[in-house]
Amino acid sequence: MLSRRKEKKITEKISEELVKTFVTALEREDIEALSTALYKIPKSVEKFAERYSLASQHLQAADFRKQAELMLKGTETVVEMVRQLRDVQHIERIKDLNDRLQYVEGEADKLMVELLRELYSGRRDPLQVIIVKDLYELMEKVIDRCRDAGNVVTQIALKNC
């Protein structure tokens, strides 16, 4: 909850500074779009963490390592893409990073199908199925949010190269 408040304050501060600033290298709308896209990533992570802690007693058999690895790859790639915005002349690097994000998101989708196949097999308690499915979907949403932020970075770079 605390990190979400901090993220919200940062987003508000960015919007505030954009109003005060007359000249920016990037368009204000692009900065706001990126700020919003980036804000949604930790917000989704926090939702996962809250629900995980609420349901931890039902998660003994659940393994979230593969999704966590994909989330890490996605977030690291977004961070690198944002860094690349400092010098949009490296548009090919941004495109490569965006391709990597698209790949990670595709792998997350494939993994989700595998995990759902196991959940729907009937070998688990129905309550556990509901809880684990919800958590899988939240982790998938984090990766989707990373992809969305990467798409915004790519659009900004294409407009400014």
Superfamily of domain 2-160: Phosphate transport system protein phou homolog 2; domain 2 (1.20.58.220)
Higher pLDDT, 144 or 85: 144
CA distance 56 to 77: 29
Q: Are 53 and 125 in contact (CB under 8 A)?
A: no
Q: Which helix (H) or strand (E) holds 87?
A: none
The pLDDT tens digits of the residues spanning 7-50 come to 777 777 766 665 555 445 677 888 899 999 999 999 999 999 99
Q: HSE (CB half, 13 Å, CA atoms) of 95?
A: 7
- The pLDDT assigned to 25 comes to 64
The pLDDT tens digits of the residues spanning 82-133 come to 999 887 677 899 999 999 999 999 999 999 999 999 989 988 899 999 999 9
> What are the residue boundaries of the structural domains of the chain, listed by start?
2-160
